[in-house]
């Protein structure tokens, strides 16, 4: 939260235009290449004018179950859930039940800074409410059922990160609060609102609030690649924990329909769509702007366990693209670049996965050190061990860093990217930027 072997063709003037640029066979080959080299297990759907023009996938829905992904395999979509939550909030605004200026104190008067925090700030990640999934103890309860009262209690005990409205900082906590507000305002559960306001209305028959994964019901399990094979992710989150910030499961075709319907006025007013698209410091109100060369899309990414997700609508092309994954070895963003390139007929050279990046072991000491950040509560120690780099956060186990260049490393199991920089162009790297779950933190080496 913290992003099908069936080709469907619909004959219409719109589809013909799309197929003239969509590189279907090359995209098929790309997905096969990713599977052959154990780089990414993905399922893809591309639509034109809300009609499917491409579906395909690779790989298996679980390491323990020998069953391939199908068009109806459900995936956890993580933070794409936030777009559903924001949509319901804007429906309530359109109905006159609240405004973007309504204060949190209308619903939770005892919450810290409740009289200063607005609905708009919650939607735009500008409330200052601390992101509870960043805390070191989060993992200790992530896989356990939790009541909404207890989840609220956790957030009420957290200090504010900043004065409301003064900064932008991605916060799952803010979207949990929006889910609780939806329940208080409507007198119905968040799940009931999802069903009546979105799922049933759009006939999203393969989209639901998540529960414990059941592979026998064609639900994907998250995986990571280790020791030459895919392994099922050991810690399955209980969906009561991410709640309205990340608990929905879906399929690519349903997400295409949702995003198309949202941005074409079938769920909220034009005024609300315009508000959702207002971007400040990279974040809108329940959506992101997605630049791709000369094109601009809108949508959201998702990350939960080892699942990655991305679902975007490109209005000028009337194209929807959704990519879901339950396991990656390469950067998910690189998978997206490949899919988008072939969607829009751009040149794209397949990666050479047989070519490994090797760093000179004699230079690994350039990266070593203890790093800290004003934006992050834990220190991270980077060490060179047995010719490789590892990183270890305070109180946690060390994890390996895989180089993607001389300055960029990744740890795909946790969706971490670390980009090293030299502050004064010396031989040593004094800074790294840690990117995870749509957020980034700047760490500096301690003297």
Average pLDDT of the residues in 217-239 = 90
pLDDT at 437: 61
Domains of the chain: 1-355 (3.40.710.10), 361-445 (2.40.128.50)
The model's pLDDT over 296-311, given as tens digits with 9 standing for 90+, comes to 999 999 999 999 999 9
Contact in structure between 387 and 361 (CB atoms under 8 Å): yes
Among 182-186, 225-229, 288-292, 343-347, the least confident range: 225-229
Span 143-152, average pLDDT? 97
pLDDT in tens, 27-84: 999 999 999 999 999 999 999 999 999 999 999 999 998 899 988 999 999 999 999 9
Are 323 and 44 contacting, i.e. CB atoms less than 8 angstroms apart? yes
Q: For a pLDDT cut of 90, what percent of the chain falls above it?
A: 72
Q: What is the pTM of this model?
A: 0.81
HSE of 64, CA atoms in CB hemisphere, 13 A: 11
- Span 160-174, average pLDDT: 96
Position with higher pLDDT, 233 vs 179: 179
- As a whole number, mean pLDDT of residues 147-161 equals 96
pLDDT grade for 410, boundaries at 50, 70 and 90? confident
The confidence score (pLDDT) of residue 5 equals 21
Higher pLDDT, 187 or 235: 187
Q: Under a CB-based contact definition with an 8 Å cutoff, are residues 58 and 35 in contact?
A: yes
Report the 10 Å Cβ neighbour count for 425.
Answer: 6
Work out the percent of the chain whose per-residue pLDDT is above 70: 94
Sheet containing strand 208-209, edge to edge, reads 75-76, 248-250, 208-209
- As a whole number of angstroms, the distance between CA 59 and CA 70 comes to 10
């Amino acid at each position: 939260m913290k992003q099908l072997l069936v080709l469907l063709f619909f004959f219409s003037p719109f589809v013909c235009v799309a197929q003239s640029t969509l590189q279907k066979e090359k995209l098929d080959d790309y997905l096969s290449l990713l599977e052959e080299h154990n780089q990414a297990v993905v399922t893809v759907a591309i639509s034109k004018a809300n009609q499917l023009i491409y579906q395909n996938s690779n790989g298996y829905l679980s390491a323990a179950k020998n069953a391939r992904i199908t068009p109806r395999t459900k995936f956890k979509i993580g933070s794409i859930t936030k777009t559903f939550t924001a949509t319901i909030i804007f429906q309530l605004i359109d109905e006159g039940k609240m405004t973007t200026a309504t204060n949190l104190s209308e619903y939770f008067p005892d919450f810290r800074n409740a009289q200063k925090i607005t609905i708009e700030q919650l939607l735009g990640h500008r409330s200052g409410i601390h992101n509870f999934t960043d805390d070191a103890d989060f993992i200790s309860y992530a896989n356990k059922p939790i009541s909404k009262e207890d989840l609220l209690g956790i957030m009420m005990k957290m200090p504010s990160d900043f004065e409301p409205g003064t900064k932008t900082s991605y916060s799952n906590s803010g979207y949990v609060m929006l889910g609780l507000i939806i329940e208080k305002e409507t007198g119905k559960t968040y799940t009931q609102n999802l069903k009546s306001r979105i799922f049933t209305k759009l006939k999203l028959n393969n989209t639901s609030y998540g529960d414990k994964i059941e592979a026998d019901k064609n639900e994907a399990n998250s995986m990571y690649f280790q020791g030459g094979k895919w392994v099922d992710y050991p810690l399955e989150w209980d969906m009561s924990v991410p709640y309205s910030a990340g608990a929905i499961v879906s399929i690519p075709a349903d997400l295409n329909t949702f995003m198309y319907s949202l941005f074409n006025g079938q769920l909220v007013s034009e005024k609300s769509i315009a508000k959702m698209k207002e971007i400040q410091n990279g974040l809108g109100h329940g959506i992101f702007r997605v630049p791709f060369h000369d094109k601009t899309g809108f949508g959201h990414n998702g990350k939960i366990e080892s699942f990655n997700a991305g679902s975007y609508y490109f209005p000028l092309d009337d194209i929807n693209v959704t990519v879901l994954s339950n396991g990656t070895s390469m950067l998910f963003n690189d998978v997206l670049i490949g899919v988008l390139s072939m969607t829009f007929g751009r040149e794209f050279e397949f990666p050479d996965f047989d070519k490994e990046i090797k760093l000179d072991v004699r230079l690994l000491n350039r990266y070593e050190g203890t790093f800290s950040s004003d934006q992050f509560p834990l220190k991270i120690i980077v060490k060179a061990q047995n010719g490789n780099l590892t990183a270890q956060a305070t109180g946690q186990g060390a994890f390996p860093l895989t180089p993607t260049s001389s300055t960029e490393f990744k740890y795909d199991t946790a969706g971490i990217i670390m980009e090293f920089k030299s502050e004064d162009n010396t031989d040593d790297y004094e800074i790294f930027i840690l990117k995870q779950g749509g957020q980034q933190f700047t760490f500096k080496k301690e003297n």
